Amino acid sequence: MKSSYSHVLMLIGAILAFVPIIAVDHLLDAYVAYRERAVAHQYVETVSSHIDASIMDGVSALRSVIADSPSLCAPTFVTNAQAAIDRGLNLKQFLVENLDGVQYCDAYGRIVDYSPLSQPLPVPGLTETITVVKFADMGMPALKITQTFGEMRRVSVFVPLLGQSETSLTQSMRNAGMMRVTLTSGMPILTIGDPAGFDGRSSNSDYINAEKFAGQFPIKVETAVPFVMVRAGYADLDVIFTIIACVVSAAFLLFSLGYVRRSRVPAFDLERAIARNEIKPYYQPVINLRTGELMGCEVLCRWEKRNGQVIPPGAFIDYAEVTGLAIPMTVSLMEQVRNDLGELCKTMPDLKISINLFEGHFRDGGIVEDVQAIFGGSSISYRQLVFEITERRPLANSLATTGVISGLHALGAKLAMDDAGTGHSNLAYLATLGVDVIKIDRIFVDMIKPGTTQVPVLDGLIAMAKDLDCEIVAEGVETEAQALYLRSRGVVQAQGYIFAPALRVAAFKELAMALHMATQPAPQLAIPTASAA
Ligand code: CA
Ligand code: CA
């Protein structure tokens, strides 16, 4: 429970460390999709440019045959047509017919066996039309490219849609993939593989697909393959990626462990520091403004690391409070205080030691027993102890709270309201808690500037403390003007830099003894009599 915070951080680190492994699948999916989409685009690009080139060949052959032949169906025309077929890679036939389809002549002097599969399609920018046809016994559809010649005749050239056979196209296709050529009207003219799965897909991410038009022609080429099928082809890469991810994860885990260990955030080893008594009490003297006597001290703390670094409490107190470590920390501090100041308290039985408590102490309740266990039977008496509760975080008005307060009172210790004026203080609240001392926060003391004759807020606070019959300690006294003003308002006790900062035990004891000697009447010396020999 105490160190649950650092455990949570460790857990988060461990989970983060495995992110690469978890992400492998995702990364590999993205990689496969990216690679395969490029492949699909390349494929439709190739097929569509074939179709484009094939049609353009046909168009230019048709035009040159017509241009070179003075009259259609004359021997020159036939010779030119045959020569064009010989030259061209893909030209199959030339045909002259009338508008009703009655054939006049062709390149080889026989009936041309074809049947249209589509309407003649106009092509933007060309005078020719294109008709998809079944030509002779070709398995693949062919294209009939036609020029209307005068009012009566049409001259056409036949070109296969694609130079390859259907078998070779099927072989080049991915397992379960499909390729389809359609007219822009949506009419399919060539389909390789089964497009049903693709057409009925529920999500676009299930398929890798691409499409492209054949140049300016109203013909679209598309291809698609189920993602799972291509993904299966990357199984080897899957293994490699997973190994890399494991290595990255392990590295990250080691790095975060190292970070946790080396971290300058005190969080991770505060618990150990408390166990090793690295949280040291520092003592800030409380001085009597009238006599200059030492009245007591407030126990503050510093984290003295083994490497010599000294960390002020601001860097770890909040963390200690949130995590519950404030409770063992206070125990450790009280034990050190007992060892540090036991002797001094015998010499100065009126010295008051002020110890800061946390809100958690008033819920936990164990503090009363801790105080008894530590100070019971020690040379520090309970009535020398003052426990400070901060006003910044008001205590719950609960049975546990009143139990702790009355328990401490019953021992003879006093209670101080720390940082008074900064929270929600009102007379009723303070009166319910039954505090004995009010510590006026430094922000009010700071309001006293040289030459100030009154500080209404501060004066009000002092008056309130007096009404409650509380002792007053002013905190953060830094200038002579402040000390004098406070004294003039009847404040007797003060702490602050004008007197001393928080001191290590040795320095504090030295100061305490020096002040003690200075303010004590000189001891009566025993004067030896002359007769004593
Ligand atoms: Ca305090
Ligand atoms: Ca304070």
Task: Compare 4 and 163 and report the one with higher pLDDT.
Answer: 163
Shared domain for 245 and 303, answered yes or no, is: no
Of the listed ligands, the closest to the CA of 389 is 1
Of the listed ligands, the closest to the CA of 300 is 1
User: pLDDT tier at 533 (50, 70, 90 boundaries)?
Assistant: very low
Task: Compare 328 and 525 and report the one with higher pLDDT.
Answer: 328
User: Looking at residue 409, which CATH number applies to its domain?
Assistant: 3.20.20.450
Shared domain for 324 and 422, answered yes or no, is: yes
Q: What is the mean pLDDT of residues 356-381?
A: 92
Tell me the C-alpha distance between 267 and 302, whole Å: 15
Tell me the C-alpha distance between 506 and 65, whole Å: 116
**Residue 343 CA, ligand 2 centroid: distance in Å:** 26
Shared domain for 53 and 95, answered yes or no, is: yes
Query: What residues make up the domain containing 119?
Result: 1-159+230-258
Is residue 30 situated within a structural domain? yes
Shared domain for 253 and 351, answered yes or no, is: no
493 CB-side CA count, 13 A: 21
Tell me the C-alpha distance between 372 and 355, whole Å: 14
Using CA atoms, how far residue 497 sits from 474, 477, 480, in Å, is: 12, 6, 11
Shared domain for 254 and 276, answered yes or no, is: no
pLDDT tens per residue across span 157-189: 999 988 777 777 777 777 778 999 999 888 888
**Residue 115 CA, ligand 1 centroid: distance in Å:** 102
Pairing state between β 294-304 and 310-311: antiparallel
Q: Which amino acid is at 127?
A: T
Shared domain for 469 and 408, answered yes or no, is: yes
pTM of this prediction? 0.53
Is pLDDT at 8 greater than 90 in this prediction? no
Shared domain for 276 and 246, answered yes or no, is: no
pLDDT tens per residue across span 234-257: 877 778 877 887 888 788 777 777
> Burial code of 282-291, b = ≥16 C-beta within 10 A, e = fewer?
bbbbbbbbee
Is residue 299 situated within a structural domain? yes
Is pLDDT at 532 greater than 70 in this prediction? no
**514: CB partners within 8 A, 6+ apart:** none
Shared domain for 313 and 460, answered yes or no, is: yes
Q: Among the listed ranges 135-149, 217-231, 306-320, 384-398, which one has the minimum average pLDDT value?
A: 384-398
pLDDT tens per residue across span 404-455: 999 999 999 999 999 888 876 566 677 777 899 999 999 999 999 988 889 9
Q: What is the mean pLDDT of the chain?
A: 87
Pairing state between β 471-474 and 493-494: parallel
Is pLDDT at 289 greater than 70 in this prediction? yes
User: pLDDT tier at 2 (50, 70, 90 boundaries)?
Assistant: very low
Shared domain for 339 and 271, answered yes or no, is: yes
**Residue 416 CA, ligand 1 centroid: distance in Å:** 9
Is pLDDT at 68 greater than 50 in this prediction? yes
Shared domain for 353 and 473, answered yes or no, is: yes
**Residue 388 CA, ligand 1 centroid: distance in Å:** 6
Is residue 326 situated within a structural domain? yes
Assigned token pair, 257: 């462990």
**111: CB partners within 8 A, 6+ apart:** 103
Of the listed ligands, the closest to the CA of 298 is 1
Number of domains in the chain: 2
Spatial contact of 419 and 448, defined as CB atoms under 8 Å apart: no
Shared domain for 235 and 329, answered yes or no, is: no
Is pLDDT at 336 greater than 70 in this prediction? yes
Q: Among the listed ranges 183-187, 392-396, 495-499, which one has the minimum average pLDDT value?
A: 392-396
Q: What is the mean pLDDT of residues 312-328?
A: 90
Is residue 178 situated within a structural domain? no
**Residue 65 CA, ligand 2 centroid: distance in Å:** 106
**Residue 357 CA, ligand 2 centroid: distance in Å:** 11
Shared domain for 346 and 495, answered yes or no, is: yes
Is residue 97 situated within a structural domain? yes
Give bridge partners of residue 224 from the DSSP assignment: 178, 209
Tell me the C-alpha distance between 362 and 388, whole Å: 12
The pLDDT, as a whole number, for residue 318 is 87
Is residue 210 situated within a structural domain? no
